[in-house]
Chain A
């Protein structure tokens, strides 16, 4: 079975006064139907821009190109904006980070929900309304009927995010992209929204791309993971494998930052990754992580480092695999 979405060698460039900002530099990932792929990385690593490029929703200044962006067997690179608009919303939908600003303040929830369906399917307004009520109930909003007449500012952040999710589901898309859907919400609401997303994904058998910087979320939700750093995927694999045996020094560093219940002792220092992310402006030779990596060698600063595949779907971008993974093994034994 071929992947629902397959992205190969995606680049996003943003021309700035100081030079071209290479926000995304040759990213690969793919999602299958019914599976969740998590894009993980810190702010500015290019994870949001990657999916915006897939949706062709990048800011005007940014340009993108890719070897392949295949969606359901259809190549999206080169598809006109006119055709792309037919795919957006109906075939792939997106849930954004900021539920407070992502809804138009001038229109009712009902209007904005119905619009998503009416745009793509020749149904009556009443049918669209029924669908909106059905989905609002699905996402756990009570009194859905009366909510339709409300304006976004009358709802709390958690409710708005539920509305956003319902809006994404209006056409029953095979792929849903959630860009940090819980970042702006209270912690208690976060858990509810994530659980909701997970159950809806199973129920409607959708592929999902979940963008997050929270490894805890990844562990709970993702089938596979792509760890991004400075515009590149530095490691990818099945979630379980990646968590058990991280191969890239950056992934290892990230995992060390998380306390493990039962393993991290009280008062013990959590890990941190020293240094700062290099500027993504201009060209870079060698490894993107070289200035923060504790295993750095001369080769790391000059060689061109590709993704090394070790099994289906498992790959990483580092020259030092044997040394790194051994070190890692000894460390995990030490714990």
Chain B
């Protein structure tokens, strides 16, 4: 178990380094960052000045190594737009994004897992069809459109909830639902198919042949097995939802990291964008790592050799 965990951590670190390298390269080679910074109508002198000021005239590899070296120490440079350390800018907003992500995640889990389980127990009933419809709609619905529908219905027409900002918990309800709904179909489908597979398995029949009641058969024997892949997916999904949160943050003007990312891209504030991409990758990699470890812990076939 320790060796397994160690291996996974090394692998995760390798992935994080590769991701940072690739994203650095993509961002810096997609266009001339100096022109982007100085603005489209800047004179050649201005561009040259910017290029020298931010060290953009040096070879890209040198720039990367320097950036990575500082990033390891938690220093992501300074934002040309804010004239502030990137770390502080992101630090101010990460809490909002994490709260939003967590609420969305809880919403997704509370919607998807019970529905998936019930759908698996009672296939081809109205509740199964409802679950299927919810998941099919969720997969086809562009999340910004769903967010706007929520705003129009609950914010504009019914006036139940505030439509933008993040001052109170009520501001988080609609963004969390919009973001969580986006993550729930995958979770629901996996729960349903996993549960159906488990319910048809030989050991469930064994459990029933012992005379166990439906309750213990379902919760002790079936759910315990079916939940293993779902837990894995849920962790990965959390990382994934944070990565996609910026559209929702933009729609609801929630002042989180995602909103900052969109604004920073518009402003060509590359150090901030770079740091956010790295941060999101890091969260994703950590989540995958946790999911692997938890998976091994939950599944005796991996845990006990």
Residues of A within 8 A of B (CB): 55, 57, 59, 85-90, 93-94, 96, 98, 101-107, 115-116, 119-120, 150-151, 153-154, 164, 167
State which of A59, A119, A151, A154 has its C-beta within 8 Å of the C-beta of B210: A119
> Are B299's CB and A87's CB within 8 A?
no
Residue of A nearest to B201 (CB): A101
Total cross-chain contacts (CB, 8 A): 76
Whether A96 contacts B205 in the complex (CB less than 8 A), given A105-B225, A106-B299, A151-B304, comes out as yes
Residues of chain B having any CB pair with chain A under 8 Å: 200-203, 205-213, 216, 220-221, 224-225, 298-301, 304
Rounded to whole angstroms, the CA-CA distance of A93 and B211 in the bound complex is 9
CB pair A104–B213 under 8 Å, yes or no, is no
**Contacts A104-B221, A105-B301 hold; do A55 and B203 have CB atoms under 8 A apart?**
no
Query: What is the bound-complex CA distance between A249 and B209, given in angstroms?
Result: 36
State in angstroms the CA–CA spacing of A94 and B202 once bound together.
12
Q: Which of A57, A85, A107 contacts B213 (CB under 8 A)?
A: A85
A102, B299: Cβ atoms under 8 Å? no
A59, A101, A105, A167 pick with most chain B CB within 10 angstroms:
A105
Chain A residue at minimal CB-CB distance from B206: A102
B201 to chain A: which residues have CB within 8 Å? 101
| Separation of A151 and B301 alpha carbons in the complex (Å) | 8
Residue A89 contacts which of B202, B210, B224, B298 (CB distance < 8 angstroms)?
B210
User: A86, B304: Cβ atoms under 8 Å?
Assistant: no
Q: Judging by beta carbons under 8 Å apart, are B206 and A120 in contact?
A: no
User: Chain B's nearest CB lies how many Å from the CB of A120?
Assistant: 6
Residues of A within 8 A of B208 (CB): 57, 85, 88
Contact of A104 among B200, B207, B211, B298 (CB under 8 A): B207
**A119 neighbours in B (Cβ, 8 Å):** 210-212, 216
Q: Is the CB of B202 within 8 A of A96?
A: yes
Contact sample, A vs B, 9 pairs, CB 8 Å cutoff: A57-B205, A88-B209, A94-B209, A98-B202, A102-B206, A103-B203, A104-B206, A105-B225, A107-B224
Contacts of B210 on A, CB cut-off 8 Å?
88-89, 93, 115-116, 119, 167
**Given known A104-B225, A105-B300, A154-B304, contact A120–B211 (CB-CB < 8 A):** yes
